Amino acid sequence: MSFFSSLHKKSESVLLIDIGSASIAGTYAHISHGYKPELYYTARVPIRSHENINMRKDMERALTELTKVLAQEGAQIFAKETGNGSVDRVVVSVASPWQETHTHIERATHKKPFRFTHHLLNAMVEKSISAMPGRTQATAMVIATRLNGYEMTNPFGKMASDAEVYVILSSISTDVADSIRTVLRKSFHASHIEIVAFAPVTFLVLRDLYTEYKDFIIMDVSGEATDILIVKKTILLEDVSVSFGLNDLRRVAIE
């Protein structure tokens, strides 16, 4: 499963934003079904810490700075290359400390064998999603399905008495999600702003790139945080975020 596969229509222009703990990047992309995405312009700005201002405010300032660059410089280059500087949608990837991710296993068992259908899968995914006060659901993604203990790449229509669905669930603080949308809507008039979590996107990309590895650990060390993703049998078991990153190492070195 590819990250971009969830974006595909026949053809569309997309603005991709990557929000980390140390910097924010943005790029214009043109995506056509059946072809590799084409990237036309990329910019990155650091998240600068200010005294007496919380991390969310620092992130908002950096995102505002980035959107100005993308709207003023990037849009012109994108229009020159594609004939249109506007975008159909904005997709925002949010990393720690802004996101939380875990894998939930939803199970259905019956004494008599039953047929596994799309309707059953959707019902199991919906059941796995629980509302959390102050949090916005960012990702609900099926990464594996097992029938009678065997993983199935295409389980639909098959009979089983036991079904397990592995769902990656990610959430973001509602305040952070609202702030991101507010800043972006000031510069871009896309019909849809989609916020996704960095952890599942990273897991899916690396899993698809390195298919020979079934068990591995992914570490992303950034400015103010470190993410550790533990993968077993190609299943993301756990996402651990540590509030210690490159900036902390620099501060320790200076002291």
Mean pLDDT calculated for residue range 205-219: 91
Domain count, the chain: 1
Q: What's the DSSP call for residue 74?
A: I
Residue 9 domain flag: yes
Residue 91 domain-assigned?
yes
| 105/248 Cα distance (integer angstroms) | 35
Report if residue 14 sits inside a domain. yes
What domain range includes position 7? Answer: 3-96+174-198
* 4 vs 122 pLDDT, higher one: 122
Instruction: Judge whether residue 13 has pLDDT over 80.
Output: yes
Mean pLDDT of 175-184: 93
**Residue 162, domain member (yes or no):** no
Instruction: Give Cβ neighbours of residue 182 (< 8 Å, ≥ 6 apart).
Output: none
- Give the CATH number, domain containing residue 32: 3.30.420.40
For the cut 60, the answer to whether the pLDDT of residue 24 exceeds it is yes
Cα–Cα distance measured from residue 209 to residue 109, given in angstroms and rounded to the nearest whole number: 34
Is residue 168 over pLDDT 70?
A: yes
| Statement: residue 177 has pLDDT above 90 | yes
The answer as to whether 29 is a domain residue is yes
Asked if residue 112 is part of any domain, the answer here is no
The confidence band for 137, taking pLDDT boundaries of 50, 70 and 90, is: confident
Give the pLDDT score at 3: 45
Query: What does the pLDDT look like over 139-160, one tens digit per residue?
Result: 888 999 999 999 999 999 999 9
Would you say residue 203 lies in a domain? no
pTM, rounded to two decimals: 0.79
